[in-house]
Amino acid sequence: MTSYLPSVIKQFKYYKSLGDKTLSVLSLDELKFEFKEDSNSIAIIVKHLSGNMLSRWTNFLTEDGEKTWRNRDDEFIDTYNSKEEILIAWNKSWNCLFDAITALNDDELENIIYIRNHGHTVVEAINRQMMHYAYHIGQMVFLGKLIKEKNWQSLSIAKGKSKDYNKEKFSKEKNRIHFTEDL
């Protein structure tokens, strides 16, 4: 298990980078755009992720992940007045996550923590949160692509470029690295 924590930290950084890149290319109006009434804009997704991260990762090992001060329903009401506010919330919540997870050691991975009174090992809680964040960051990227249309720059292997990408990868010797180290 000594590779688990470094691997998940890299994976969280990767998902954050996808969100960072999406946020960087959109204006405030684009971040707040809702395709249909009652759909979530990227700003709302950021607000929800921020609320979730701050709740889950604050006092991660000692308090239930669903804090009494969290108001999840309010996370789906856009109250941001500037792109800067969105970025501050985004970065504050990721800093909370990284502060909590980098403080962990391998001996704590089987500890039981609670989310809404349901026990999880630390590994289970980390995996749960990572998948939740990947789900929403995928939504952010997809919305960014829809908003930018032809002006969107792919954040992964561009359509029609798989053969070129694979050719470059297979031209190198086999090695063991986390995939994010080679992006």
Note the Cα 133 to chain centre separation in Å.
4
- Rounded to whole angstroms, the Cα distance separating 165 from 146 reads 24
For residues 46 and 54, give the distance between their C-alpha atoms in angstroms, rounded to a whole number.
12
C-beta neighbour count of 60 within 10 angstroms: 22
Q: Which of 67, 63, 66 is nearest to 113 (CA)?
A: 63
Residue 120 phi/psi, 5-degree rounding, is: -135, 145
Residue-level pLDDT, tens digit, the chain, 183 residues: 579 999 999 999 999 999 999 999 999 999 999 999 889 999 999 999 999 999 999 999 999 999 999 999 999 999 999 999 999 999 999 999 999 999 999 999 999 999 999 999 999 999 999 999 999 999 999 999 999 999 999 998 888 989 988 998 899 898 888 787 776
Distance CA 23, CA 151 (A): 14
Give the pTM: 0.94
Q: CA-based angle 68:73:79, to the nearest 5?
A: 110
Pinpoint the alpha helices (H) of the chain: 4-24, 28-32, 42-57, 83-102, 122-148, 162-170
The CATH number that domain 4-153 falls under is: 1.20.120.450
Strands 112-115 and 118-121: antiparallel
99: nearest Cα among 157, 57, 40: 57
Domain boundaries along the sequence of the chain: 4-153
